[in-house]
Chains A and B, each alone.
Chain A
């Protein structure tokens, strides 16, 4: 790793997960000047979080995935790419000036090509009571287990759907947490819906073996599994104390200290939306994704999106995505010709297809049900501004057809999270209220700063103080 001062560079990679690490390493190997920016303290992303902080043995580590992460980090550090940790991208302008906030100070890197590898976030699933302390995402508990070797104390229930729900449940149970139940929305209809995808999925037996191991672990630990639930709510005074689930036409109440929820992951939309890249609604995944070609090139030819940020494919697919995007970027910047690009990408494209084979089955099986993605009136949807699903529906009756007018009327999406949490939900609520497709409803306009930036840091940005003579108007 070489230190270069900020300024101009060939490629800026945002995000140092599997996609970003692979992209940076590959781009550097093709002779490009590369800079990787990630807001975490060290590379790794969500799956390989902190793998090289020298804290192995802190949290339990999980087999070959973990080893793979260390390899990626090692390769990145061995490359000529510059890594900037603890640095958050908060704006990108049309000239590909990438604005970065690090230790409270803003700086800018100008890129010739940008690779967005900002990964995924867990889908928000608002239900009554989900804002109570003690209700967290399942992935959040995983983060705590891996980085601080801690588990929720007391009784733990996991609720929702998706492989990560089962993975985290088994990890926590193995680590000694008191996991009393896993409550799944997944039921008979979902299995039936997923069936056609099964043969293709079976082509990657390793995935199945992993899943079966998690289920065995849950059985071994005596964790109760409840499937096909029809409603979910949390209650408690000042923190979660009970979870209420609808099973058949009965309601069941389970005492809990921690409720972990999960309903899959969706692409982190912020940066791609900020840059106004074209998006499409993926009905199979119930999520927005940026429109990209086979190489990950977005609607802006100077910008690629790689990894889960372009559509959920998992860590291995993200890694191949990253390498493909890097090769394509090298082509875009004139370092290699189209023939070389085709030759280098061919095996990677095959590999990616293999990694993605299981997705249709997973997406169909673990599709969150309507009541979870289109929550009841009482559920708070925008946690920053305390806006309920009912309020969104009520402004729909004032002629609101999309998230931006809903935002103007209710303040949903105006808080510091900038709609990361509620965005997909608000689109879904408005679409269903109007009886139209989510694509017709659209998404929040995402504006800078992507994270809060101190006023003084903005003021001291390049170009800030030196054009004072220009007119700054008074608002009227």
Chain B
């Protein structure tokens, strides 16, 4: 979906786990940015229709980038900064009753 610019100053790599896949992000990336660059799309499925969804706004307003982060609820991936070893699960239609 997105690609990094060639000339940009490289930041340290941060390795995270998205649905069991190794994803290499850069320090300071929001989780949503890391997932978009790695092509982890869609982020979720509409709970009602099952249709695929991905981020719309990137400023925390639309809630389309909700994913499970380290076992915790549905987090807005655009508001979470990656840390090494972060485990991310993209949504199923709904999470099991905790």
Contacts and interface: CB of A to CB of B under 8 A. Distances in A.
Interface string B34-56: 10110001110010110111111
Given A58-B8, A150-B2, A176-B5, A131 B53 contact: yes
Contacts of A150: 2-5, 33, 36-37
B9 to A, nearest CB: 4
Contacts of A147: 28-30, 33
Interface residues of B, number: 45
Nearest to B46: A386
B79 A39 contact: yes
A140 B37 contact: no
A449 to B, nearest CB: 12
A143 B52 CA distance: 22
Contacts of A239: 41-42, 52, 54
Q: Chain B's interface: helix, strand, loop or mixed, by majority?
A: loop
Contacts of A58: 8-9, 11, 28
Nearest to B26: A148
A94 interface: no
Interface in A135-154: 135-137, 139-140, 143-144, 147-153
Interface in B51-94: 51-64, 66, 72-74, 76, 78-79, 81
A176 to B, nearest CB: 6
Interface stretch (A201-209, A292-300, A398-406, A412-420): A412-420
Given A148-B26, A239-B41, A383-B62, A135 B56 contact: yes
Contacts of A152: 1-3
- Chain A: number of interface residues, binned into ranges: 35 or more
Q: Chain A's interface: helix, strand, loop or mixed, by majority?
A: loop
Interface of A: 39-41, 46, 50, 53, 55, 57-59, 104, 121-122, 131-137, 139-140, 143-144, 147-153, 175-176, 238-239, 257-258, 268, 383-386, 415-417, 420-421, 451-452, 454
Contact of A133 (B9, B11, B42, B79): B42
A417 B61 contact: yes
Contacts of B1: 133-134, 152-153, 257-258
24 contacts: A39-B79, A55-B11, A59-B8, A133-B42, A133-B54, A134-B41, A136-B57, A137-B57, A137-B58, A144-B2, A147-B28, A147-B29, A148-B33, A150-B5, A151-B3, A151-B5, A239-B42, A257-B1, A268-B61, A385-B48, A386-B48, A417-B61, A421-B62, A452-B73
